[in-house]
């Protein structure tokens, strides 16, 4: 985690230093949420450093990486938005992290976050063909008409499963 911002960057050299240029400055909100979820699953002890890191990643993702209810594709290391479009998979990671955090803490603000993430994800599923989904939402709110990767199905199923499990624990 970057000591200045607390963010997880995307690309490193063999000494674990961020790559020079834009590659090393890239931060993906979807990965902040995904790592937070992994840390909470690995160590649900709320007094652990893993737990504190997970919460910090979620807060960073929410504060800097969510615009108009959707997790954007990428930030820069100063936490400004680099890529304002929103692919489907970061929405699913946001939902997983928020749902698990809500289930563990029972804090209303995390339930609200999970509900907002679920509503956002639902928009991607609103295609004319049942069972398909959109992959990319532009920053002006339009879905890109293109093929969606089949790997998104895994993300969709896991996020819905995590949300359902959180609701059962509530």
- What is the domain partition of the chain in residue ranges? 21-169
Structural contact between residues 54 and 36, judged by C-beta atoms closer than 8 angstroms: yes
Structural contact between residues 25 and 73, judged by C-beta atoms closer than 8 angstroms: no
pLDDT at position 47: 87
**pLDDT averaged per 10 residues, the chain (length 170):** 91 93 95 97 89 96 97 97 98 98 95 97 94 96 92 95 93
pLDDT at position 32: 98
pLDDT at position 118: 97
* Phi-psi group of 69: left, alpha or beta (phi > 0 → left; psi -120 to 50 → alpha; rest → beta): left
**Any residues with CB less than 8 A from the CB of 101 and at least 6 apart, and which?**
36, 40, 54, 55, 58, 107, 110, 113, 114
pLDDT at position 170: 81
pTM of the model: 0.95
CATH domain 21-169 topology? Glycosyltransferase (1.50.10)
pLDDT at position 100: 96
């Amino acid at each position: 985690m970057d000591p200045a911002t607390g963010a997880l960057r995307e690309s490193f050299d063999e000494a674990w230093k961020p790559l020079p240029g834009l590659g090393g400055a890239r931060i993906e909100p979807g990965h902040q949420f995904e790592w937070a979820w992994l840390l909470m699953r690995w160590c649900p002890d709320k007094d652990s450093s893993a737990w504190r890191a997970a919460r910090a990643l979620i807060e960073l993702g929410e504060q800097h990486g969510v615009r108009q209810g959707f997790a954007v594709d990428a930030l820069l290391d100063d936490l400004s938005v680099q890529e304002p479009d929103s692919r489907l998979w970061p929405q699913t990671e946001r939902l997983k992290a928020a749902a698990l955090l809500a289930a563990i803490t029972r804090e209303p603000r995390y339930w609200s976050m999970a509900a907002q993430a679920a509503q956002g994800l639902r928009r991607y599923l609103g295609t004319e063909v049942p069972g398909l989904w959109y992959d990319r939402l532009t920053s002006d709110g339009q879905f890109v008409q293109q093929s969606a990767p089949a790997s998104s199905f895994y993300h969709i199923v896991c996020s819905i499963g995590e949300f359902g499990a959180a609701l059962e624990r509530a």
